[in-house]
Amino acid sequence: MTATLGHVTQLENGAFKGPLRTLNFRGDIDVAPLRDKASPAHPDYRVTCGGIEIGAGWININQTTGKPYTSLTLAHPDLGPRAYKVNLGRAPDQDDDSVFALIWNPEA
């Protein structure tokens, strides 16, 4: 089962912006690249909503295609009791290569 929790647009600086929508939460998120990672294990992105940090993101490599993709972990009391695992993927029927769907991954 997959659900789309919103759509983000990738900006020229590599950041993403757009709405996150669940049944209980609605807010615009910023997914900003972290340029000065102290370790390869640290996140590649910081996710904020209204200036409040709600998660982090990592660039991963798809094991089948070998192509990079971005995954986010979102966790905040306003989002509910457990973290959301979200992948940025091609939005259905989308012609703009800069628009990505926030695809909830409940099995992660």
- pLDDT of 20-77, one tens digit each? 998 888 999 999 999 888 898 899 999 999 999 999 999 999 999 999 999 999 999 9
CA dist list (Å): 31 to 12, 63, 67, 94: 13, 24, 20, 20
Count the Cβ atoms, other than its own, within 10 Å of residue 66: 7
Report CA Rg, the chain: 13
Q: What is the pLDDT of residue 22?
A: 87
> Minimal CA–CA distance to 86: which of 72, 75, 76?
72
The model's pTM is: 0.90
Residue with tokens 């997914």: 31
Residues 68, 49, 21, 56, CA torsion sign? positive
